[in-house]
Structure 1
Amino acid sequence: MARPKKFDPEHVVDAAMAAFWAKGYAATSAEDLVERTGLGRGSLYHAFTSKRALFQETLRRYDTHWTARRVEILEGPGSAPERIRALLMSVVEEETAERPAHRGCLAVNAAIELAGRDPDATDQVRRVFQRVEDALCAAIQRGQRDGEIAADRDARALAQFTLNSMYGLRVLGKTADRRTLTGIVDSVLRAL
């Protein structure tokens, strides 16, 4: 009797994430997933049951890894405006880095492609967005307490404005240059 091959599920999810991130959910074929993960089709579907279930797992992994990095920046050292600038500039850096294609944000890409049509993907993306919004709101509130951001402004509304700007950088980053994106960051900080 042949032994089943062992594999690292995190590695498989990371590899699948790269495929979905590069092509989107609909355009990623079973063959793409097999090629990226190194698993046979049967093993892949036995482990994750379906393409959709594997995609859900990649969104969870994205939240665990990539969203956590955004939150860490906002909870790090420095003034609130410095931390917010660091967050927005991390997006600019990623979007202007040398690579074959501007992939944007997996959550934004999923929202654009699937929101309203796939309730599970919509909920997962909503959780990603909410997590960043909450961290932004907390940073803004700290900045208001420290006198770095006007205290008479609604912290939640400022967080939503900044979140919208951050994800807008992701979309514009597919075509805009670094100078344009940095100008947007500067404008957001002036608005705060």
Structure 2
Amino acid sequence: MARHKEFDEQQALDQAVETFWSGTYASTSTQDLCESTGLSRSSLYNAFSCKADLYQRSLRRYGELKDAERTAYLEHPGTGREALEALLGHVLETQGGSEDRRGCMVINAAVEIGGDDDEVASLTRASLDGFRGVVAQLIARGQDDGSIATTAPAAELATVVHAALNGLQVGARVATDPAAAGRGLQTLMSLL
């Protein structure tokens, strides 16, 4: 007879997301994961098979959470510019404003692992593409309502805005001036 799980797998996964997000894949030990999830090694491996599987599932879960968060900005009141600025400001505030400045888990994964793991690369691409798609929709909305210039197609502007935001997030991890990212965002918005 199979034993019933005595833990909430979703809750354990959410704790693993927090642990990987605050560290890196390489620096997060199995012991760290056991401590954060409250699971023994055997329970951890029975539920998630291996550290790589748990990391991939954590990236997937992070992507789901962030996708829901960012798509909500498509319904943000006001102009496309206002909605875009609110989204980008929220990203910088929540990702760079934390005490440990942990940035974006997807950017961290892309930088740390890159294309060395096909599944991680696929998950990071999907998340980055999804975010860029939301940015493109907000830019298109702004172009339609006149609050954003039509000097280039929305998708092309979204690529530049997304790249700049990623750079601001990475820079915020080591910045000595906490307001620098905000000023960078204001400059970026002035170019639209």
Q: For this pair of structures, how many residues does the alignment match?
A: 191
Please, what TM-score do these two structures have when normalized by structure 2? 0.92
Cα displacement (A) at 1:4: 4.3
Output the amino acid matched with 2:71. Answer: V
2:110 maps to a residue whose letter is A
Deviation, structure 1 residue 75: 3.6
CA-to-aligned-CA distance 1:16-67 (integer Å, 9 cap, x gap):
1111112200111111111111111111111111111111111111011123
Q: Deviations over 1:71-115 (max 9, x none)?
A: 21244211111111111211232245352x111110000000011
CA distance in 2, matches of 1:98, 1:17: 16
Asked whether the 8 Å contact 1:144–1:150 carries over to 2, the reply is yes
Q: CA deviation at 1:2?
A: 9.8
Query: Does 1:128 pair with 2:120?
Result: no
Matches within 5 A, 1:181-192: 181-192=181-192
> Structure 1 pair 25/35, CA: closer, same or farther in 2 (3 Å)?
same
Equivalent residue number for residue 147 of structure 1: 146
1:178 aligns with 2:174: no
Is 2:20 the partner of 1:32? no
1:141-162 deviation per Cα after TM superposition (whole angstroms, max 9, x unaligned): 1111111112241211110111
TM-score w.r.t. the length of structure 1 is 0.92
Query: Is 2:96–2:169's contact at 8 Å kept on the other side of the alignment?
Result: no
Unaligned ranges ≥5, structure 1: none
Which residue number in structure 1 is paired with residue 137 of structure 2? 138
- The code of the aligned residue for 2:148 comes to I
Alignment of 1:101-116 (within 5 A): 101-116=100-115
Q: Which secondary structure state, in structure 2, belongs to the residue aligned with residue 15 of structure 1?
A: helix
Whole-angstrom distance in 2 between the partners of 1:130 and 1:46: 32
For the residues of structure 1 that align with 2:3 and 2:106, how far apart are their CA atoms?
Answer: 37
- Kindly tell me: are residues 95 and 54 of structure 1, through their superposed partners in 2, closer, same or farther at Cα, counting changes over 3 Å? closer
Counterpart residue identity of residue 24, structure 1: T
Mapped to 1, the partners of 2:153 and 2:51 lie a distance apart of 41
Secondary structure of the corresponding residue to residue 78 of structure 1: coil
Give the stretch that moved more between structures: 54-63 or 149-158.
149-158
- State the distance in 1 between where 2:95 and 2:122 align: 25
Q: Pairwise mapping of residues 1-192 of structure 1 onto structure 2 (< 5 A)?
A: 3-97=3-97, 99=99, 101-176=100-175, 177-192=177-192
Is 2:96–2:103's contact at 8 Å kept on the other side of the alignment?
Answer: no
Q: Percent identity?
A: 38
- Contact residue 103 and residue 170 of structure 2 kept, 8 A: yes
Equivalent residues of 1:92, 1:178 under 8 A apart: no
C-alpha separation between the residues in 1 aligned to 2:98 and 2:47? 34
Distance 2:98 2:139 in 1: 32
Within 1, Cα distance between the matches of 2:161 and 2:170?
Answer: 14
CA distance in 1 between counterparts of 2:2 and 2:191 reads 64
